[in-house]
Amino acid sequence: MFLLMLLISGFSVYSIYNLDKAAENIKGRHTTLSNLISDKKEANEGFFANEMLLEAVKISDDQIKYSYITVFTVIGVILVFGIILTFFIPRVITKPIFNLFKAAESVAGGDYSYRVDGVKSSGEIDTLVQAFNHMIDNIEISNRELQKKNDEILKLLETTKRFNDVLETEIEEATREIKEKHKALIKTEKLATIGELATGVAHEVRNPLSGIAIALELMQAETENEEHKQTISEILNEIVRLERIVKGLFQLGHPKSLQLIECEPNDIVERALSLVNMRAKSKGVTIEKQLGCGNQFNVDHEQIEQVLLNLLINGIDATGSFGTVKVETKNCNGTVEIAVSDTGCGFSEKDIDKILQPFYSTKERGTGLGLAISNGIVEAHGGKMHISSKKGSGSRFVVEIPNNLNDDSIA
């Protein structure tokens, strides 16, 4: 716009310049005519002609003067209008629009606090600014409400997640307890069946076995045939094994009640070791011990000694010559741990899950009752038996028993 004003002003100046040249041309012609008239006419006629010519030049000068005034007035008006358009119109129209553009960019960037303020413009622009600010106000209010709802939803989701976690944990715990109780119920039913079987075996088999054993012993004493004596000796050994099986069945089906007394774990270990030392020496097995437990605990020492004897005998039998069986005791978080480990043949992972079941044995002539009875004794004391083994790398049995066991906890 300002450039257009400059062009118009330049054109006006150029017009004035042409008028000025025309005026000079007229003056020159006036001088020439005056000279000619003075030479060729009479004085009076020349005087009147000259007066008329002067009058025409004066009129021409007046017209040129008026043209100058008109042109300069137009130039002034144009310049003033150009200045107004150049400096004031942008402040009235362009600046509010630029502010609206900045506000739109802020809103697009997520900033709803920006407002278009201090705008002094025409009614339409002011209405547009007010409408824009009102729109941002509504957007900001809606955004706050939406954020508030999002926060409430997030809190609800977090609460739901915590509830689900607690519920999942409780379900897992309940499932685990149900499985354990189901497992215990099956075990109880098995033991009850075994108990009935053991009772029948004890009455129907035990007495005949005793009579057969006595008769065989008499026959062995009377015969002179060494081959017969050897055969009778083998039969007697099998009878002893049968009696041991019957005794184990009876103990598994009818476990003895616990007779708790306060004693030291190390003393029980020492008594058990004294009973198996000869067996270990005969097989070339070294017994090591690391008795670090200094506490006492309330247990049925005879039954715990039976458990320890069974573990030691199994370890010695599983370990070949120059092998090692190690016994350890220690205190651990309110419990006493007695561990028996060996460097024997070990057993596979699938056997670990079955080794404590009745009648399951990895020995060729094992009854599968020793570990089942031992585990029952440990559980009766409120303890646990942990087993770790690897085929060809030995085994480790850890008996964990609370050191504050009492009659109430048994019940």
| Domain's final residue, options 252, 267, 287 | 252
Short-list 297, 239, 287, CA closest to 267: 297
Both 285 and 360 in a single domain?
yes
Residues written for the chain: 411
Q: What's the CA gap between 173 and 34, in Å, rounded?
A: 135
Q: What's the CA gap between 141 and 144, in Å, rounded?
A: 5
Q: Note whether residue 76 is domain-resident.
A: yes
| Domain's final residue, options 252, 274, 306 | 252
Q: Note whether residue 394 is domain-resident.
A: yes
Q: What is the pLDDT of residue 222?
A: 82
Both 271 and 355 in a single domain?
yes
Both 202 and 336 in a single domain?
no
Q: Note whether residue 389 is domain-resident.
A: yes
Q: Note whether residue 168 is domain-resident.
A: no
Q: DSSP per residue over 305-342, as a string?
A: HHHHHHHHHHHHHHS-TT-EEEEEEEEETTEEEEEEEE
Both 224 and 330 in a single domain?
no
Q: Note whether residue 126 is domain-resident.
A: no
Q: Note whether residue 246 is domain-resident.
A: yes
Q: What's the CA gap between 120 and 363, in Å, rounded?
A: 104
SS3 72: helix
Q: Note whether residue 146 is domain-resident.
A: no
* Chain segment 80-113, per-residue pLDDT in tens: 777 776 666 666 666 667 777 777 777 777 776 6
Both 247 and 262 in a single domain?
no
| Domain's final residue, options 252, 270, 297 | 252
SS3 298: strand
Q: What is the pLDDT of residue 325?
A: 92
How many domains in the chain? Answer: 3
| Residues of the chain predicted below pLDDT 50 | 40-44, 409, 411
Q: Note whether residue 17 is domain-resident.
A: yes
Both 297 and 361 in a single domain?
yes
Both 199 and 248 in a single domain?
yes
Q: DSSP per residue over 150-218, as a string?
A: HHHHHHHHHHHHHHHHHHHHHHHHHHHHHHHHHHHHHHHHHHHHHHHHHHHHHHHTHHHHHHHHHHHHH
Both 225 and 295 in a single domain?
no
Domain of 99 in residue numbering reads as: 2-108
Both 7 and 27 in a single domain?
yes
What CATH number should be reported for the domain holding residue 282?
3.30.565.10
* Chain segment 314-333, per-residue pLDDT in tens: 889 888 788 899 999 998 88
Both 271 and 346 in a single domain?
yes
- Beta-carbon count within 10 A of 347 CB: 19
Both 401 and 271 in a single domain?
yes
User: SS3 helix, strand, coil % of the chain, rounded to 5?
Assistant: 70, 10, 20
